[in-house]
Amino acid sequence: MTKTDADRKGNALSAMDDPALVRLAQVGHDPAFEELIGRYRAKLFKTAMGILRNPEDAEDELQNAFWNAYRHIGGFEQNAQFSTWITRILLNQCLMRLRKDRRRPQMSIDSFSLGDEVTTLDLPDQRPNQELTLSGTEISGTLRSEVKRLPPLMRQVLLLVHLDELPIADAAARLGISVPAAKSRLLRARQELRRRMERHLLTPEMASV
């Protein structure tokens, strides 16, 4: 698809109303779902911030809400507006976060793990004897943080494969997509995560090149 074709397709989606986009998303049209969440992302983040009072927590629960909406979009009967439906999902996520934090105040991002992915990112050596600016603990924390910032459609397959340790076929079935589509998303997620991590691992001198 050429850039012009992609732009034309994007313009067509942006011209659609929410119910039409929902119907497309329900038959597996991911760009339609992305258009939907893009319309309400800023407003939903503001809602999450109003409850959680912490930008990282708000972003976490926003991503969780997007993931849950994506998983259950097929069951959304449009008895309410999409914006109302996804706001309810977000509110439930935020309230669960508050209850969990009250019960376990010691919980932090360090409890999030990607198993072997924490230590096996295949980052290219940019020059001999490259010095990393981050310690092992900092790298793990940075990795977890960057995973949480991935677009939801990338993040979900990465978590299913590397956190839940599902075979790619099972991950595809869980997401309701084909195995090739799941493999493509996983590849793009790994590439994006690697790109983000490379920025953190470069020395200050290299970063200025």
Q: What is the CATH number of the domain that holds 43?
A: 1.10.1740.10
Question: Could you tell me the residue range of the domain that residue 154 belongs to?
Answer: 112-202
Band (pLDDT 50/70/90 cuts) for residue 10 is low
Task: Say if residue 21 is in the same domain as residue 49.
Answer: yes
Work out the end-to-end distance of the chain between its first and last CA atoms, rounded to an integer number of angstroms. Answer: 33
Residue % of the chain over a pLDDT of 90? 22
User: Which is more confidently placed, 170 or 206?
Assistant: 170
Q: Would you say residue 2 lies in a domain? A: no
Tell me the C-alpha distance between 143 and 145, whole Å: 5
pLDDT at 102: 63
Give the least confident one: 50-54, 103-107, 181-185: 103-107
Q: Which two tokens stand for residue 181?
A: 């589509």
The amino acid occupying position 50 is G
Query: pLDDT tier at 70 (50, 70, 90 boundaries)?
Result: very high
Cα maximum dimension of the chain = 61
Residues 99 and 131 in one domain: no
| The residue to which tokens 């691992």 are assigned | 201
Provide the number of structural domains found in the chain: 2
67/6 Cα distance (integer angstroms): 25
Residue 208 within a domain: no
Judge whether 11 lies within some domain: no
Same domain membership, residue 121 and residue 80: no
Does 168 map to a domain? yes
Domain finish residue from 81, 104, 127: 104
- The residue that leads in pLDDT, 131 or 88, is 88
User: Of 104, 120, 150, which residue sits at a domain end?
Assistant: 104
d(CA 33, CA 23): 10
Q: Is the pTM of this model over 0.75?
A: no
Average pLDDT over residues 160-170: 85
**Do 68 and 127 reside in the same domain of the chain?**
no
Is 60 a domain residue? yes
